[in-house]
Amino acid sequence: MANRKHIRPKSLLVLLALVILPILAACGTVDSAQTTINPQSDVAREIQGTYAFIFWVSVVVFVVVEGALVYAVFRYRRRPNSGMPKQTEGNMVLEVTWTIIPALILVAIAVPTWITIFRTDDIPAGSYIINVTGHQWWWEVEYPDVGLVTANEIRVPSDRTIGFHLETEDVLHSFWVPALFGKIDLVPGRTNTVWFTPDVETEGQMFLGQCVEFCGLSHANMRMRIFVDSPDDFAAWTAGLQSPAPEPSGVAATGHELFSSKGCTVCHSINGAYDAAGLFPAPNLTGFGSRVTLAGAIMENNATNLTAWLDNPEEIKPGNIMYKEAEAYKNPDLALTDADIGALVAYLQTLQ
């Protein structure tokens, strides 16, 4: 008896807090705003409504079932001298009831779910269309109305309903910005669609998203951002990308030349400067200097990170196609020196 350890209620509480607090801490900060429970568009709110409905139905089911269980355990517990309890075999009314009620609950859940799924599928007429193509491990983003192509960062005007046409160039991917719309798979050979209308308050805000279908080694490094711009900011952004980049000078001019002599143009286009040979799909770098992120939106686009990326893309993003296929990393004659990388960084940053 002397050795028997008592677990005090207090230490149980501490243990519980240790488990729960980190989980709570992981939710709710701005940086981790990849959440469906803070919907910021019509479609996301409809999905959240379906979720909330199912949640509250589940709460009622839980309380009723657990309540009945706890009641039965206490009310009919074994007492001294109680002997063998009365034996019951089958109860038609009870069994029919507990079959019909769950069936009705399932129908009540299925109908709003179906309605929501089909409604979020068909892009409303008059929407602003953006084509998105999934690649291992980045997103190609095309604005067909202005003939622009960019990557990973999707700017949208705040005053329009946005419709996405989704395709994949290689394997399955899945497109999801939880605060704005539901998950849609990108399936080889198909064009899937999703749409949303941003809330008025989202103007000027950024939303996080990422690929949610396992698509290979760097799947976790395939992220994206949606920026909801005011109509004026959006027009200025498209106009900026359509106007030719300034003539590079100094070290940036060296970078401009290296961009073709080191074989970058085998894959990357820069409008007004280089048309890619198109041997491998790669992000269009037009306006790259004004992008906030780099390499599948996994890190901030600044000189330090860009230098690290060009120095060793494999270390930053395991398995990426640039490291695997670019001559600058395969062919020692074309390897990039520190000075080359400095010049390329300077050039890429001039692309506004």
Binding mask 213-232 for Cu ion (x = CB under 5 A): --x------x----------
| Whether the Cβ atoms of residue 297 and residue 223 lie closer than 8 Å to each other | yes
Residue of 177, 178, 174, 176 whose CA lies nearest to 214: 174
Query: With CB under 6 A, what is the number of residues at the site for ligand HEC?
Result: 27
* Nearest CB to Cu ion, comparing residues 155 and 173: 173
Distance from C-alpha of 269 to C-alpha of 218, rounded to nearest angstrom: 23
Calculated CA dihedral for residues 158, 159, 165, 167, nearest 10 degrees:
-10
**Binding residues among 286-345 for ligand HEC as defined by CB under 6 A:** 294-296, 310, 317, 320-322, 325-326, 328, 344
Shortest distance in whole angstroms from residue 77 CB to Cu ion: 54
Q: Which does 211 bind (CB under 5 to 8 A by kind): Cu ion, ligand HEC, none?
A: Cu ion
- State which of residues 46, 50, 137, 154 lies at the interface with ligand HEC (CB under 6 A): 137
Decide: is 211 part of the binding site for Cu ion (CB under 5 A). Answer: yes
Q: What are phi and psi of 331, to 5 degrees?
A: -110, 110
Beta strands in the chain (DSSP E): 128-135, 138-143, 148-151, 153-157, 162-168, 173-175, 184-186, 192-196, 206-210, 223-229, 293-294, 299-300
Exactly one of 47, 130, 141, 151 binds ligand HEC (CB under 6 A); that residue is 151
- For residue 206, the tally of other CB atoms under 10 A from its CB is 14
Q: Please report whether residue 295 would count as binding Cu ion according to CB under 5 A.
A: no
154 contacts which partner out of Cu ion, ligand HEC, none, CB within 5 to 8 A by kind? none
Best CA proximity match to 319, nearest among 220, 186, 225: 220
Nearest 10 degrees: Cα torsion 72, 73, 78, 84: 50
Q: How many of the chain's residues bind Cu ion (CB under 5 A)?
A: 4
- Cite the beta strand spans of 67-147 per DSSP E: 128-135, 138-143
Question: For residues 260 and 163, what is the distance between their CA atoms, to the nearest angstrom?
Answer: 36
Contact flag: residue 266 with ligand HEC (CB under 6 A): yes
| Residue 294 C-beta: closest distance to ligand HEC, Å | 4
Q: Minimum Å distance from CB 295 to ligand HEC?
A: 4
Question: What's the closest the beta carbon of residue 336 comes to ligand HEC, in angstroms?
Answer: 6
197 sits in the region (left: phi over 0; alpha: psi -120 to 50; else beta) called: beta
Contact call for residue 262 and ligand HEC (CB under 6 A): yes
Query: Which of 270/297 has CB closer to Cu ion?
Result: 297
State the residues that interact with Cu ion by CB under 5 A. Answer: 173, 211, 215, 222
State the residues that interact with ligand HEC by CB under 6 A. Answer: 137-138, 151-152, 259, 262-264, 266-268, 280, 282-283, 294-296, 310, 317, 320-322, 325-326, 328, 344, 348
